[in-house]
Amino acid sequence: MLSYEVGDIAVSKAGHDKGSKYIIMEVSKDFVYLADGRLKKTDKPKKKNIKHIQILHINDNSVKEKVLSGITNEEIKYFLKTFGGNNV
């Protein structure tokens, strides 16, 4: 079974946002809460079933630490753009 962690980058596999990249803000049993800094902001992240996302294995502990301590929407957009994210 895959482990989902706060700060990981996820790609949507299903839904109207298919192909969009997000950062995981929170993890619960069957769902993750995602933010892209543009449409889904940190104050109201998108709730998505874990079956409908794929994790990109990019190890960057600074992002995980930043999410846990408080990340801004601009920082999320910059990070996703740096790793070939959404057209922001």
d(CA 48, CA 14): 10
Q: Provide the whole-model pTM.
A: 0.86
The DSSP bridge partners found for residue 35 are 23
**How does pLDDT run across 36-50, given as a tens digit for each residue?**
999 999 999 999 999
Q: Which residue's structure tokens are 């902001």?
A: 41
Is residue 68 within 8 A of residue 6, CB to CB? The reply is yes
What is the phi/psi pair of residue 65, to 5°? -65, -40
| Spatial strand order in the sheet of 31-35 | 46-49, 31-35, 21-27, 9-12, 53-56
Q: Dihedral (C-alpha) 46, 4, 17, 48: value to the nearest 10 degrees? A: -40
Along the 88 residues of the chain, how does pLDDT read in single tens digits? 568 889 899 999 999 999 999 999 999 999 999 999 999 999 999 999 999 999 987 767 778 888 888 989 999 999 888 876 554 4
